[in-house]
Amino acid sequence: MNILKASEFLDAVCPCRLLPKDCFLNLVNIPLMSRVTSRRPLVSVIIPTYNSQQTISECIESLMEQEYDNIEVIVVDGGSSDRTLDICRRYNTSIIKSELGMAASRVRGAKEAKGDFLFHVDSDMELSPHLIDECVDLTKDFEALIIPEINVGDSYWAECTDIGKAISRRKKTGHLRFLKSDLYESVGGHNPHLLYKEDLELHELVFRTGATIGHTHNVIFHNIGDPSLFDILSQKISYFKSLSAYQDNSRVAQIRSKNDETSPLILIQELARRPAYAPGYILITLLSALLSQVFGKYYSLFG
């Protein structure tokens, strides 16, 4: 951040020297933006990490480059054995060491947060430069916000998965990530007992309070690496295996906020925009539906 020298400040504010210099002495060598941000709400960004050395630098850099600058970054590390923590120490971040899972790490970070707003970010995400500024501005009308995501990666299959994200962007659906701190606390935060779907459950709990939920125009870029088809399906299998644990530990019996219906027109338009990746997206969707049926049948028979 640039430091404003006294002479430069006087040239900018009173070039004709009509005002006495003494009245500006208390401003010497104080960052100009610090006098502005004191009137802007603090946003606490919480990032759970675990062996995230490949992506965490870009994630934090995108926070440092935000137009909105009254931000605190809280990293909750789940026991990384790589260079994750060394990278985080290069930046102005608060680091909490733990052995917690993703959801529990979010809760721990929220307890340490001092901000009026919480922003839950994954370590493999990058924020567009004006995102937090838009979020704070939208809180004049909304208590929580869904942030649209764009999947980016280095493989054919990574590009295929973004067709699903594009459909969600068109429908303005997803799970909230940005919300008022007191609202997060009032619903009990993330469920530390869940390994998957903790974001879905939080969204449902906020939805049930009647809180207003909005949607930003600025986006998050989600770096999913270079997954193969096998990697994507393995992740979905892990997800389906967690369904029984979710039913046992979730605080909500039924999800009312989720909208899975997609207009055929939106689907056709998004497939037409990326014809090379449409077959891959269709294959992922069909195999995922098959896996869902298999695991659903298994749990209905064996619990």
Nearest-angstrom CA–CA distance, 303 and 287: 23
77 class by beta-carbon count within 10 Å (0-12 exposed, 13-18 middle, 19+ buried): buried
Q: Say whether pTM exceeds 0.75.
A: yes
Percent of the chain residues past pLDDT 90, beyond the cut: 74
- Asked if 241 and 247 count as a contact pair (C-beta separation under 8 A), the reply is no
pLDDT the model gives residue 29:
36
Residue with the larger pLDDT of the pair 21 and 252: 252
Confidence category of residue 79, pLDDT binned at 50, 70, 90: very high
Nearest-angstrom CA–CA distance, 205 and 201: 6
pLDDT the model gives residue 7:
41
Which residue shows structure tokens 């501005």? 137
Q: Quick one: average pLDDT of 53-72?
A: 97
Q: Which of 1-10, 37-46, 171-180, 255-264 has the highest mean pLDDT?
A: 171-180
Q: Where are the beta strands (DSSP E) in the chain?
A: 43-49, 71-77, 94-97, 117-120, 125-127, 144-146, 149-152, 176-180, 213-215, 220-223
pLDDT the model gives residue 27:
35
Q: Quick one: average pLDDT of 39-50?
A: 96
pLDDT the model gives residue 23:
38
Confidence category of residue 38, pLDDT binned at 50, 70, 90: low
* Least confident stretch, 19-28, 88-97, 192-201: 19-28
Nearest-angstrom CA–CA distance, 86 and 39: 33
- Tens digits of per-residue pLDDT, 144-187? 999 999 999 999 999 999 999 999 999 999 999 999 999 999 99
Confidence category of residue 298, pLDDT binned at 50, 70, 90: confident
Which residue shows structure tokens 């689907």? 267
Over 80: is that where the pLDDT of 14 sits?
A: no
The CA-atom distances, in angstroms, between 60 and each of 57, 65, 203, 282, 301 are 5, 9, 25, 34, 46
User: Which of these, 182, 59, 204, 68, lies nearest to 135 by C-alpha position?
Assistant: 68
Confidence category of residue 262, pLDDT binned at 50, 70, 90: confident
Mean pLDDT of the chain: 87
pLDDT the model gives residue 302:
72
Q: Quick one: average pLDDT of 23-45?
A: 55
